[in-house]
């Protein structure tokens, strides 16, 4: 299965958090087939915080969506993410954008991610993927 993950960081050494997340994803989730460029973006929601570094990676995995979310939350916690307020600063944020052509809608997980279309930076990063057909 092919999974598109959005990585973001706006606390501490942002690039180091992205790199550590990628390493953990490779070790615990699957092989990374593609990494987009890193894009610096303004925060969404609460604007009075540092800018984010964002990147999309495409991962080949056999982990199903709900288990994948658990693994992502575990990686975020291991990298130092603490529970905070919505849209607040964070060491690392990992969102599942797409999971092949699977759709999931529960109270805690929505695939495709419900904010793909509304976030310009996500659309810009997706255009850097060899799979920009997800935008059509």
pLDDT tens, 46-80?
Answer: 778 899 999 999 999 999 999 999 999 999 999 98
Strands 93-99 and 104-105: unpaired
Collapsed DSSP state (helix, strand, coil) of residue 33: strand
pLDDT at 135: 45
> By C-alpha distance, which of 90, 77, 83 is closest to 46?
90
**Residue 26 contacts residue 5 (beta carbons within 8 Å):** no
pLDDT at 25 over 90: yes
Domains and CATH numbers, the chain: 2-130 (3.30.70.560)
Q: Look at residue 85 in the predicted model and tell me its pLDDT.
A: 56
H or E stretch at 69: helix 65-78
Comparing 134 with 39, which gets the higher pLDDT?
A: 39
User: Is residue 125 scored above 90 in pLDDT?
Assistant: no
Using pLDDT thresholds of 50, 70 and 90, give the confidence band for residue 130.
Answer: confident
The band of 44, judged by pLDDT with boundaries at 50, 70 and 90, is confident
User: In angstroms, rounded to a whole number, what is the distance separating the alpha carbons of residues 79 and 21?
Assistant: 7
Which single residue is written with the structure tokens 């699957």?
A: 30
Question: pTM above the 0.85 mark?
Answer: yes
- Residue 133 has what pLDDT? 46
Cα–Cα distance measured from residue 41 to residue 43, given in angstroms and rounded to the nearest whole number: 6
Residue 42 DSSP class:
P
Q: Quick one: which H or E segment has residue 23? A: helix 14-28
Q: Is the pLDDT of residue 84 over 80?
A: no
Select from 110, 85, 86, 80 the least CA-distant residue to 97.
110
What number is the average pLDDT over the span 23-31? 97
């Amino acid at each position: 299965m092919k999974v598109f993950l959005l990585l973001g960081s706006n606390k501490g050494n942002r690039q180091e958090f992205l790199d550590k997340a990628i390493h953990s994803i490779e070790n615990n989730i699957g092989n990374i087939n593609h990494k987009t460029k890193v894009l610096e973006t303004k925060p969404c929601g609460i604007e009075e915080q540092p800018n984010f570094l964002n990147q999309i990676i495409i991962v080949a995995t056999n982990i199903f969506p709900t288990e994948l979310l658990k693994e992502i939350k575990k990686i975020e916690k291991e990298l130092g993410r603490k529970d905070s307020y919505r849209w607040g600063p964070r060491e690392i944020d990992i969102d599942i954008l797409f999971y092949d052509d699977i759709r999931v809608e529960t109270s805690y997980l929505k695939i495709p991610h419900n904010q793909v279309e509304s976030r310009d930076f996500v659309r810009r990063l997706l255009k850097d993927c060899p799979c920009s057909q997800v935008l059509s």
